[in-house]
């Protein structure tokens, strides 16, 4: 593997947590191996590894982009990541309010519902 892959895996684990990354890598097959390498090197080893902005800010940007582009499947994963990035619940609701104005109320409404559900699950897991 490359240095970028190694850096990406380190950041990916720091942001998403070992359990999530372990599940993702355990389910990796020959079919999606190249894709997994791509996202680890590009998303995690390049974008998320940059120190130009904070992980909190990256978390907020990511949530806004996911909601605005209606890529809802990854919102719960990135809500969970806020526990590691420092983005607060107040940050998240502010992000989704921006989404409502600039990308549409239905997208923001769905993202908020997913965030509420994910936060409730996280609280339950803490109990």
Average per-residue pLDDT in the chain?
Answer: 97
Q: What are phi and psi of 43, to 5 degrees?
A: -70, -50
Residue 60: pLDDT above 90? yes
- Residue-wise DSSP of 49-101: T--SS-HHHHHHHHHHHHHHTT-GGGHHHHHHHHHHH---HHHHHHHHHHHHH
3-state helix, strand, coil in the chain (%, to 5): 80, 0, 20
Mean pLDDT value across residues 33-48: 96
pLDDT digit string (tens) for 62-99? 999 999 999 999 999 999 999 999 999 999 999 999 99
Count, residues in the chain: 127
CB atoms < 10 A from the CB of 71, how many? 13
b/e sequence 41-60, b meaning 16+ C-beta within 10 Å: beebbeebbeeeeebeebbb
pTM of the model: 0.94
What are 77's two structure tokens?
């994963």
Mean pLDDT value across residues 42-46: 97
Q: Which pLDDT does position 2 carry in this prediction?
A: 87
Q: Which residue intervals of the chain bear CATH 1.20.1290.10?
A: 53-127
- State whether residue 48 is helix, strand or coil: coil
53-127 has CATH 3.10.20.30 classification: no
**What is the percent of the chain with per-residue pLDDT over 90, rounded to a whole number?**
98
Q: Which pLDDT does position 120 carry in this prediction?
A: 98
């Amino acid at each position: 593997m490359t240095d970028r892959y190694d850096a990406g895996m380190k950041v990916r684990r720091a942001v998403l947590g070992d359990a999530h990354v372990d599940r993702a890598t355990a389910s990796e097959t020959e079919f999606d191996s190249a894709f997994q390498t791509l996202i680890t090197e590009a998303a995690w080893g390049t974008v998320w590894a940059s120190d130009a902005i904070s992980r909190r800010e990256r978390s907020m940007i990511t949530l806004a982009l996911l909601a605005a582009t209606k890529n809802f499947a990854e919102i719960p994963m990135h809500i969970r990541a806020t526990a590691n990035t420092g983005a607060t619940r107040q940050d998240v609701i502010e992000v989704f309010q921006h989404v409502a104005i600039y990308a549409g109320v239905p997208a923001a409404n769905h993202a908020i519902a997913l965030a509420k559900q994910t936060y409730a699950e996280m609280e339950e897991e803490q109990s």
